[in-house]
Amino acid sequence: MGYILIPYQDFLNSPNYTLSAWVQWLGDPNWGYVFWMQGEVWPEEDQSRHIDVWWNPNNKCIDNILHTEEGSEWRINYMGDDLGIDVFDGDWHLVSVSLENNAIYTVYIDGELAAKDTSEIPVIENDGDDLWLGARPNDAGGENPIKMVGLMDRVMIWDMVLSQAHIEAVFENRGPGITRVTDKSMVRPIEKFALCANYPNPFNPFTHIRYRLDDTHLTTLTIFNSLGQTIRTLVQTVQGPGEYEVQWDGRNDWGIMVPSGMYFYKLTAGQHVEVQKMMLLK
């Protein structure tokens, strides 16, 4: 793949953030870069990288290097065999990393906790450098980036630390990782009834819900909370076969914004009933 350069913005200097992306390795296992923030000059001894997330073929894992304020290197990784997930298997995998209070670093792979560590010395601040996706700049001008040999999709950046439950919700949204689904009942031809994963997920405050009908039905699409209470009815009408999309703005039937948390949406059409979950973050 190529690479994407995100110019510096204030949120890149936050002491609390979460970066997440679906990635797929192509070809023979090798080194490569997923996220790189700060340090456009590449001498190893420069010790100025705010974040460095890369593929490690030796451990079959995603490796992470950050630098502390005193100039030391802080490395967080895991063994792919121990986790049971080989990121070089050619499948799509969700890589999520978070930094909390410039000191607590957490790595999730496919929604599972892979590694977590705390540094006694805070991580250096990003004083104005950019975020690279899928590459590491190799010189001062960033003209010869060392690229990730693979694909990247659905990159998400939060100016906050997501909990493991939130990360799991991102993974369950599947994205390009739908190829990992082994339950054949979840893979339906387009002409069949289906309630699709909402996007984006997690979201704030808007999300889109798509569904497909195989015949004409009295159709109801409702949102309810973790207590089972209906908070919003988005659709209640007769609809013919086809594909539909509805947007939810995070408000209840009275126009009031609902609090952050896990919500569920239920589609009822004739004898068909299906439920999915989603996460509202503020």
* Mean pLDDT on 175-195: 47
Among 121, 150, 180, which residue terminates a domain? 180
What is the pTM for the complete model shown?
0.63
Residues 239, 112 share a domain? no
Residues 160, 210 share a domain? no
- What is the predicted pLDDT for the residue at 119? 94
Check: CB of residue 149 under 8 Å from CB of residue 32. Answer: yes
The CA distance from 32 to 149, in Å, is: 6
Query: What's the chain's average pLDDT?
Result: 83
Among 160, 180, 200, which residue terminates a domain? 180
Residues 101, 48 share a domain? yes
pLDDT at residue 184 is higher than 60: no
Rounded to 5°, the CA angle 216-234-212 comes to 35
Q: What is the CATH number of the domain that holds 224?
A: 2.60.40.1930
Q: What's the pLDDT tens digit per position in 82-104?
A: 999 999 998 889 999 999 999 99
Residues 127, 213 share a domain? no
Number of domains in the chain: 2
Q: What is the CATH number of the domain that holds 169?
A: 2.60.120.200
Residues 230, 214 share a domain? yes
Residues 93, 144 share a domain? yes
Residues 158, 22 share a domain? yes
For residue 218, give its domain range: 188-280
Among 146, 161, 180, which residue terminates a domain? 180
Q: What's the pLDDT tens digit per position in 215-257?
A: 888 889 999 998 889 999 998 887 888 888 888 999 998 888 9
- What is the predicted pLDDT for the residue at 232? 93
Residues 111, 58 share a domain? yes
The CA distance from 140 to 142, in Å, is: 6
Q: Which of 86-95, 156-165, 197-206 has the lowest mean pLDDT?
A: 156-165
SS (H, E, C) the chain: CCCEEECCCHHHHCCCEEEEEEEEECCCCCCEEEEEECCCCCCHHHCCCCEEEEEECCCCEEEEEEEECCCCEEEECCCHHHHCCCCCCCCEEEEEEEEECCCEEEEEECCEEEEEEECCCCECCCCCCCEEECEECCCCCCCCCEECCEEEEEEEEECCCCCHHHHHHHHHCCHHHHHHCCCHHHCCCCCCCEECCCECCCECCCEEEEEEECCCEEEEEEEEECCCCEEEEEEEEEECCEEEEEEECCECCCCCECCCEEEEEEEEECCEEEEEEEEECC
The CA distance from 35 to 257, in Å, is: 34
Give the rounded percent of residues in the chain with a pLDDT score beyond 70.
87
Residues 169, 197 share a domain? no
Rounded to 5°, the CA angle 204-209-215 comes to 170
